[in-house]
Amino acid sequence: MNASATSQHALLIIDDHPVYREALGEALAKEFSALGVDVKTASNASEGMTLVDESNHSWIVLLDMLMPGLSGLAGIKVFRSKPNVAHVVSISGLDPNAWEPRAVSAGAALFLSKNNTSAAIFKRIKTLYNDTQWHAPPSPLHASSEYRLTQRQLEVLTLISMGHPNKIIADLLEIKEQTVKIHINQIFKELRVFNRTQAVLKAQKLLLPTVTPNA
């Protein structure tokens, strides 16, 4: 399915329905091969995050809005927080009139209906490869030598900013609740704060992209 083993730009399709995922992946791989774009698939967000984190590609992520584990608006924000993800595109069988505004507000570049053909989906995603800033500078939390947060800690901090309790964060990221607590303690230590509210405010001050003032 890969367009090129050395492709710099890549598309990741994350969908828990194997037939739809593989069919769309094969169709888009054929279309994007001429553009030198590598197409990969993942059955859930956790698997997708591993692919993104362990590669040196610049990614566009096509994320199903309704899956077990991390998905929906929280999934958009977490993937958008990754420095090598240029865009997140939401795809769903949900009502576009109700969900497209929510997805875009959460940071999605596009909302696509699963009722579209693969050709139509290709055309919409292809537009994102034009005039995209693929090498955006890292956020101050990444760039600062004073604060050293891991990618997972940034994901946890993003979900904290959305008001999620530890149990929900654990479910979304598919990790143990005790692991979430360990990450939070490290976040507090690195940001030199004492509670969740202070951590979110500190992140806002440092301009962490996914932590918004209205979180």
Same domain? For 195 and 120 the reply is no
Is 154 part of a structural domain of the chain? yes
- Over residues 164-204, the pLDDT tens digits come to 999 999 888 888 999 999 999 989 998 989 999 999 888 88
- Mean pLDDT (the chain) is 84
**Within the chain, how many helices (H) and strands (E) appear?**
10, 5
Q: In terms of residue numbers, what domain contains 71?
A: 9-129
Same domain? For 27 and 61 the reply is yes
Distance CA 52, CA 56 (A): 8
pTM above 0.75, yes or no: no
Is 214 part of a structural domain of the chain? no
Provide the pLDDT for residue 146: 61
In sequence order, what E strands does the chain have? Answer: 9-14, 38-42, 58-64, 85-92, 110-113
Q: Please name the residues in contact with 79: beta carbons below 8 A apart, sequence gap of 6 or more.
A: 45, 48, 49, 52, 61, 63, 85, 88
Distance CA 3, CA 182 (A): 39
Is 149 part of a structural domain of the chain? yes
Provide the pLDDT for residue 4: 37
Which among 71, 103, 129 is the end of a domain? Answer: 129
When divided into structural domains, the chain yields a total of 2
At what angle are helices 96-106 and 72-80 packed, to 10 degrees?
30
Same domain? For 115 and 50 the reply is yes
Same domain? For 119 and 148 the reply is no
Output the domain CATH number for residue 198: 1.10.10.10
Same domain? For 124 and 144 the reply is no
Is there a contact between 137 and 190 (Cβ–Cβ < 8 Å)?
no
Is 148 part of a structural domain of the chain? yes
